[in-house]
Chains A and B, each alone.
Chain A
Amino acid sequence: NAGVTQTPKFQVLKTGQSMTLQCAQDMNHNSMYWYRQDPGMGLRLIYYSASEGTTDKGEVPNGYNVSRLNKREFSLRLESAAPSQTSVYFCASSVQQGPITGELFFGEGSRLTVL
């Protein structure tokens, strides 16, 4: 019962370094999402993928890129990390494609610190 798996769980970067957060789901879900969670800001959508082969920007896409590698995997890349990207990142998936009336399933989060 893996659900949504994110790696790594913790990462410390220096300003300017790059890294990729990996996310995989084993529930055959169509849609996948990347959120960031910051104190006092709640969850903000970075990018989402409604289906394999498509990606769209969310509220805060600047400084990030994504790849929907296949139906299972959705990665988030920071090309040149900045201290403002220090956050907890959550990957999520949902079975539906299109307006959501169902549930989002979340991973356990990846805590990223940029020095």
Chain B
Amino acid sequence: GDSVTQMEGPVTLSEEAFLTINCTYTATGYPSLFWYVQYPGEGLQLLLKATKADDKGSNKGFEATYRKETTSFHLEKGSVQVSDSAVYFCALSSNRDDKIIFGKGTRLHILP
């Protein structure tokens, strides 16, 4: 079945460092891909998405490009801030049904 694999955390970086969180997927057809973020004590919220190959999603300085050839959707940010500390989830939605499948999440700590 469909699945998402993302790098395990926690990831600890200093403020202004470059961030990459890797995400790869397995799916039949052409899924839509998402990154969600969960701040402490809150539910998840959509960070960015891409619905077809080569699309780039971006929001709040974060970017991810839908790479069909490598089945990847890596999250990047050029200069992280302490306020970016959160758990990040990569997810996909199959084009066959109504479900979104999430990865296990990557906890990010940004040190001042």
Contact = CB atoms under 8 A, between A and B. Distances in A.
B98 A50 contact: yes
Contacts of A31: 98
4 closest A-B pairs by CB: A106-B43, A42-B104, A100-B93, A43-B102
B46 interface: yes
Interface of A: 4, 31, 33, 35, 40-45, 48, 50, 56, 58, 90, 92, 94, 96-101, 103-104, 106-109
Contact of B43 (A45, A101, A107): A107
B93 A101 contact: yes
Question: What does DSSP make chain B's interface, helix, strand, loop or mixed?
Answer: loop
B99 A45 contact: yes
Interface residues on B, range: 20 to 34
Interface in B25-54: 32, 36, 41-46, 49, 51
A55 to B, nearest CB: 11
A107 B42 CA distance: 8
A42 B102 contact: yes
B76 to A, nearest CB: 21
Candidate in B89, B98, B102 with the most chain A CB atoms within 10 angstroms: B98
B94 interface: yes
Contacts of B105: 42-43
B62 to A, nearest CB: 15
B69 interface: no
